Structure 1
Amino acid sequence: MDHKEFEQALCKKLGTTPDKATPQALHSAIGDTVMETIAPDWRASRQAHLSGRRACYFSMEFLVGRAVQNNLLCLDLYDTVEEALRPYGVSLSAMDEIPDAALGNGGLGRLAACFLDSASTLNLPLDGYGIRYRYGLFEQHFEDGFQKETADDWTRWGDPWSVRCEADAVEIRYAGQTVRAVPYDMPIIGCKTRHISTLRLWQAEPVHTFDFQLFNQQHYLEASAESIAAEDISRVLYPNDDTREGKLLRLKQEYFFSAASLADILRKYRASHDKYDDLAQAVSIQLNDTHPVISIPELIRLLMQDGVAFDKALSIAKQVFHYTNHTIMAEALEKWDCGLVEELLPEVYGVILQIHEALMAELYAKPDWTAEQITAMGIVRDGCVHMAHMAIYASAHTNGVAKIHTEILKHTALKDWYRLYPERFQNKTNGITQRRWFALCNRELSGLATELLGSDRWITQLDALEELVPYARDLQVLQRFTAIKQEKKRQLAAYVLAQEGVRIDPDTVFDIQIKRLHEYKRQLLNAFSILWIYFGIKDGSIQNFAPTTFLFGAKSAPGYRRAKGIIKYINEIARLVDGDPQVRDLIRVVFVHNYNVSYAEKLVAAADISEQISTAGTEASGTGNMKLMLNGAVTLGTLDGANIEIVEEAGGENNYIFGARVEELEKIMPDYSSRRLFADNEKIRRVVSTLIDGTVSDGGTGDFRELYYSLLDGASWHRPDHYYLLGDLESYVEAKLRAISDYRDRAEFAKKQWLNMCHAGKFSSDRTIRDYAADIWNITPVQ
């Protein structure tokens, strides 16, 4: 379709010209046109997936973001549509008003979206299954520096990228309640191919459709109550599970999409098979973290319901399922109260007990395992169902998501399981799709790469960027790179002004930390470092400081008080700095609101310094670090997660590494005293004391005081300074000051940035998915 044909199709659908249409109407018209165009290829791809072996990706989150620009790019229609709109003075930039499909909370959900993109581009038969949440994560805004949440009604102007498939609806049964799961299918369009994968998201609805005119008032009330209860299941992402009701809803959600997805898979399987003997040869299911692990007993239950004996059903499950672990932290490994599971899913709970007994029988048959070790590995233990244990036992593979993460799983966090099943453990370092995170978000830099390579083959072979390494010595190319980086910073500055009402200077260093707000990701450490620099400039101990803008983007879970306190603290630091004429021309602090995929696309392209500062051994992998690296940012970080592999690829001399390593922390932490360090180090004491000395205010909430005592005395479940902020602070400030100082030599710093981009090839999700396909799923490209 050329631009004239697209222009005619748009005008016909709009009933007017693009300049007279709202962005929302234009978005719907573009979406409808594209969906009609791809329909034949989508049908053919679905059939190809079902005609051979395929894989399915079960995930509680799919953080797909805004679809329109990415889909046009993958179809090679982006420039065509821009040309069709140009005569009317309209641009695809108008799509910035369209809400993101924020059906995820962070890296786990964005990873799932990248994986589907890669599989489709590689012609691999992989489909996704999840939940079509009525509301996304939440829309975030700040009131007096505090995070406030409002509902994210992401479909308020329609959703042209999803197709409701009424005929494939299934019923999901809980104790005392039955609901309908209705699928909405979203095409995942491959790049430079006609292959299209499917993301099937389930929406919860009441089982019956009532004609209220035929019922009396009492019937009306009962029907309304049923409707509300059913729709709640897919209403919000991650309900607050601090209460029993919240936990019940969360478990309902996990079972809802798992059971619906399995019913869909088995229905399609039975269409061409009489028995379940070949199920494991037909389909492979990847469990993205523990949220879908309830699928294991549910599949066994379904098979037993159709006459398959338990032992055989368990054997099939062990071949069908594979489990991705995303955390080494024991407190983050999901477990459910036995009473809650039995109350909601009595039949499934009975199967869980059988799985547990099968594990116990296997372990007790091993003469070299102690009773204590066996008990610790139980699936049902201490009144809880341990989902990670069930996932490892009843699946074919368990994989970590970065080299160091997998090694920690094997030798520390899950060492007994690795001892039992060493052949099941694999590493699959995460990746990102270069289509969205380079081609789309940085058309200027990716265009330069295409020009220098003589083709855009990097769009499906990211390691082609390695061929650009020699240009690190080409001053003219580095000048062009620097000009592009400056333009992306200018674009971001304009966007921040429009969104935040804050002016930032694109001529300053852009130091960026964007990720989910959690204590282990250490946004608070970043805040402390800014205050360290602030005080150093004021007292003269830091001189010749290159002007720097510190940008944060993050959302805190609504019930996570300490994380929300950190957001308030950073916003108070921003206010403090902005009100001080001595430093405000040297430091600017901005916490952008409602950080999401579309905001990230602008931030990663503009970054000079990428903050990846989690405590060593806590971040499973990270994917934000890869996006920033690919767009020419240096990493300021710890040797944690994929940072280690980033440094291996791009070189320690081109990045800024600080802090204690995993093996060092193992020796430090048993005797570590944050109180002693606080007492002995005047600069640390000065910075941390701002939490209680009136330098900044928490509005009387006590949140800053609680942060202070959690660092020095411990709080709730953890010891003092559990994530080693104070221990790493001085090393961190030194590395940060060195990076900012090095920026003054623009040519040398640009060389570091350029080499990071060139060496980012390993971190394409295409590589990750090829590895999954070959080593775990045993799937091959469809023809």
Structure 2
Amino acid sequence: RLGCSFEVRGGTLGVVMGRPSALQGIPYDRPVVGYGGKNINTLRLWSAAAPGAFDFAAFSAGEFVSALAGQLSAESLTRVLYPDDSTSMGQGLRFVQEYFLVACSLADLVRRFRRGHDDWGSLPDQVAIQLNDTHPAMAVPELMRILLDEAGLGWEEAWDLTRRTLAYTNHTLLPEALEKWPLRWFERLLPRQLEIILEIDRRLAAEVRARFPGDEGRIARSSLVENDGDRRIRMAHLAIVGSHSTNGVAAIHSELLRKVTVRDLAELYPERFGNKTNGVTPRRWLLLANPALAGSITAAIGDRWITDLAELERLAPLTEDTGFRDAVHDARRRAKSSFADWLKTNSGVVVDPDSIFDSQVKRIHEYKRQFLNGLRVVVLYNRLRQDPALEMAPRTFFFAGKAAPAYELAKLVIKFLNNLAGTIDGDPAVRGRLKVVFLPEYNVSLAERLIPASDVSNQISTAGYEASGTSNMKFMMNGALTIGTRDGATIEMAQAAGEENFFLFGLTAQQVTNSRPWYSPWWHYKHEPETRAALNLIFSDHFSRYEPGAFLPLRRALLEAGDRYMHLADLSAYLQADRRLLEAHADRDRWMRMAVANIAHSGRFSSDRTIVEYASEIWQASPCPVP
């Protein structure tokens, strides 16, 4: 039961406070079949429904829509995951959605636990709940509510069971992505859960005061309640305090999380913090997506790598094997031709499979710096305009990714990349030498085609901002070479394969932090001719001739607002790394040695390894072999 209901205003579904409603959770199970079909797991999804919502009298009177209004509004709660939260109504909808999904999942989990166990004390031995970022953090007060109010346990026992059952994975260092919900929403919608949160916070303050006497600032920083103006509940703090384990998803991310983002809580609970570097499944991203390359690998070392990616280490000596390098080259060329054919058939876009396929596929965000990549292309475009005889290998730059519905600057970057593509296509001076393609409707199916076809992987986030990345791993195991910053899991990838097999550039996370107080993008504009020429070309409407001033918000973000993500600070270094990349590509044997080295050392980045670490180090779960 909730202290709100839902209605559509201006075409947008939102929350109406103070109008109580009841919802039912309807489970839908999706089978997940393990490799080889010997075991099947279940992914349980939830749909919201309104109990007894069908108004038969209204239906009989011909009011067909109003007869179903309650049911339709309830179902809309789970129609779209992560609804647009740019408005207060949208934020309220997301808040209720998160609670609804947590409440359904915990009620179902407890029901199944009680079916075979009478002793609540065995809950952490039978159940492991991983909070995947802050979205399910309401599980902390909700599980406490169940144990206190339904099971009748005392606070100390309920709190011990809750913390031993829950664990938390953090996926971001961005302050705006660490959820903080207005306390007044809890007061109106979830008053009992708020009582529990405030009691947790009271006890936390006492614990901090006992450990660090006299440090009132630490108490405020550690608190679950942020008191800057509108009081808000810090959901990341709630997840950390209410669980027995907190991990980041790459070594640098976990270190920054511990030393910077939640330093006070990490000093209070140092034993709870660890790292679990992300991984991706080789069955989908190599075996299924790239059958030609997978066949070449199997022919060389057998097929055990499919379920034990560490086996790829056996490919390391084959970097010097001409036959294997040729097989990998041919497999990659086949993937490029296949993608080019698919792209032409499905979109009419023609690309040259003999050009360098240079890809950046990820969510569109300022810190991921798709605009930095666009600036690189503009510099190369300027070079060819000024010197048509310049030797430069033909290149095709692919971009793909989605922007959040209300993220206007990210959408403007998408527009810029499309305008850049159109201008280059229409310029005979560079046609056939440079091409930009923004691939719409990015999804896994598209990635399965593009990643095996890519020669170059761009991982160019501002250092210290990317938690991990997973596209970087997919590209690596398919033999693409990375041009990127020392950020996220790319650092660990370069350590595994050797930095000599990567094209790394740019500021480190520490340098980004140290230079923040004095950094000025204007210095780069004034002292770097190619940077200035590229920006002048963009802001002179060369790429927006029929929409004057269209890209002025990008100018404001870069030059007037201080270039928060330091695009201009890294542009020259990016271009230098790009030059090294072209030099390496000109030597086919060298390029293929680097590609094979990347494939051979990608074994650590399998999700199999990641899940084993979660199971053994956090969940205390043992394998159950399937006969």
Q: Shorter chain as normaliser: what TM range?
A: over 0.9
Paired position in structure 1 for 2:391: 544
Find out whether 1:198 has 2:42 as its counterpart. yes
- 1:449 alignment partner, one of 271, 288, 297: 297
Cα distance in 1 between the residues matched to 2:346 and 2:594: 31
2:74 corresponds to 1:230: yes
Give the letter for the 2:279 counterpart.
Answer: G
State the match for 2:232 in structure 1: 384
Preserved contact between residue 188 and residue 198 of structure 1 (Cα < 8 Å): yes
Decide which of 381, 384, 396 is 1:534's aligned counterpart. Answer: 381
Partner of 2:199: 354
Q: Deviations over 1:500-534 (max 9, x none)?
A: 21100000001000011111000000000000011
Partner of 2:429: 582
- Partner of residue 144, structure 1: none
Alpha-carbon distance, 1:279 to partner = 0.8
Question: Identity, % of aligned pairs?
Answer: 42
Partner of 1:239: 83
Once the 2 structures are TM-superposed, how far is the Cα of residue 371 of structure 1 from its aligned partner? 0.5
For residue 221 of structure 1, report the CA deviation from its aligned partner. 6.2
1:309 aligns to what?
154
Alignment of 1:460-475 (within 5 A): 460-475=307-322
Query: Could you tell me which residue of structure 1 aligns to residue 3 of structure 2?
Result: none
Q: What is the count of residue pairs matched by the alignment?
A: 606
**Partner Cα distance (1:767, 1:313) in 2:** 33
Q: Is the aligned partner of 1:481 residue 2:328?
A: yes
- Mapped pair 1:321 → 2:166: yes
Task: Give the residue type in structure 1 aligned to 2:494.
Answer: V
Compute the displacement of 1:215 (Å): 6.1
Q: Report the counterpart of residue 345 of structure 2 in structure 1.
A: 498
Instruction: Provide, for residues 624-646 of structure 1, a one-character-per-residue CA deviation record: whole Å limited to 9, x for no partner.
Output: 00000000011100000001001
Deviation at 1:216, TM superposition (A): 5.8
C-alpha distance in 2, partners of 1:317/1:218? 51
Q: What is aligned with 2:588?
A: 746
The one-character-per-residue Cα deviations of 1:303-361 (angstroms, maximum 9, x if unpaired) are 11221223322221111100001111222211101112222222222222122112112
Structure showing greater relative contact order (alpha-carbon pairs closer than 8 Å, 6 or more residues apart): 1
Instruction: Report the AA paired with residue 435 of structure 2.
Output: R
Alpha-carbon distance between aligned partners in 1 of 2:417 and 2:494, rounded to the nearest angstrom: 29
CA gap 1:449/1:174 in 2 versus in 1, 3 angstroms = farther
What is the aligned partner in structure 2 of residue 135 from structure 1? none
Answering whether residue 24 of structure 2 is matched by residue 180 of structure 1, we say yes
Moved more, 303-312 or 767-776: 303-312
1:390 Cα deviation (Å)?
0.5
Alignment partner of 2:366 out of 509, 516, 519 = 519
Distance in 2 between residues matched to 1:236 and 1:193, nearest whole Å: 31
In structure 2, give the amino acid aligned to 1:667: N
Opposite residue 782 of structure 1, the aligned amino acid is C
Equivalent-residue separation in structure 1 for 2:547 and 2:196 (angstroms)? 51
Pick closer, same or farther for the CA change 1:756–1:542 going to 2, 3 Å: farther
Do the aligned residues in 2 keep the contact of 1:182 with 1:202 (CA within 8 Å)?
A: yes
The alignment's TM-score, normalised by the length of structure 1, stands at 0.75
Give per-residue Cα distances to partners, 1:37-73, cap 9 Å, x unaligned.
xxxxxxxxxxxxxxxxxxxxxxxxxxxxxxxxxxxxx
Q: Distance in 1 between matches of 2:200 and 2:547?
A: 51
Instruction: Please point out which of 260, 270, 273 is paired with 1:425.
Output: 273
Q: CA deviation at 1:471?
A: 1.4
CA shift for structure 1 position 218? 9.9
Q: Which of 496, 503, 510 does residue 656 from structure 1 map onto?
A: 503
Counterparts of 2:393 and 2:135 in 1: how far apart (Å)? 45
Q: Which moved more, 1:543-552 or 1:224-233?
A: 224-233
* Alignment-derived partner of residue 52 in structure 1: none
SS in structure 1 opposite 2:278?
coil
Give the aligned partner of residue 564 of structure 2. 722
- Structure 1, 280-289 or 219-228: larger mean CA deviation: 219-228
Alpha carbons 1:536, 1:542 under 8 Å: kept: no
**Residue 68 of structure 2: SS of its match in structure 1?**
helix
Comparing 192-201 with 398-407, greater Cα deviation is found at 192-201
Deviation track 1:701-728 (CA, whole Å, cap 9, x = no partner) reads 85510111111111xxxxx110010000
Superposition deviation, residue 225 in structure 1: 2.6
Superposition deviation, residue 732 in structure 1: 0.2
Aligned in 2, Cα 1:700/1:538: closer, same or farther, shift over 3 Å? closer
The partner residue of 1:712 within 542, 555, 559 is: 559
Report if the CA contact (8 A) 1:500-1:593 is conserved.
Answer: no
Distance of 1:689 and 1:290 partners within structure 2: 42
TM-score for the superposition, normalised by structure 2: 0.93
- Secondary structure at the residue paired with 2:506? coil
Q: Does 1:677 align with 2:521?
A: no
What amino acid is the match of 2:191?
P
Q: Does 1:413 align with 2:261?
A: yes
Cα distance per residue 1:164-183 (max 9 Å; x no partner): xxxxxxxxx99711111111
User: What is residue 763 of structure 1 aligned with on the other side?
Assistant: 605
Q: CA deviation at 1:211?
A: 6.4
Q: Which residue of 2 is the match for residue 366 of structure 1?
A: 211
Conserved? CA contact 1:212–1:220, under 8 Å: no
Distance 2:325 2:349 in 1: 30
Which amino acid in 2 is paired with 1:266?
Answer: V
Distance 2:63 2:102 in 1: 31
Equivalent pair of 2:59/2:67 in contact (CA under 8 Å): no
Mean CA deviation greater in 674-683 or 436-445: 674-683
- Distance in 1 (CA, whole Å) between partners of 2:388 and 2:246 is 51
Q: Structure 1 residue 682: deviation in Å?
A: 1.8
| Post-superposition offset of 1:275 | 3.4
Moved more, 318-327 or 743-752: 743-752
Query: Do the aligned partners of residues 177 and 645 (structure 1) sit closer, same or farther apart at CA in structure 2, a change above 3 Å counting?
Result: same
The CA distance in 1 between the partners of 2:196 and 2:546, in whole Å, is 51
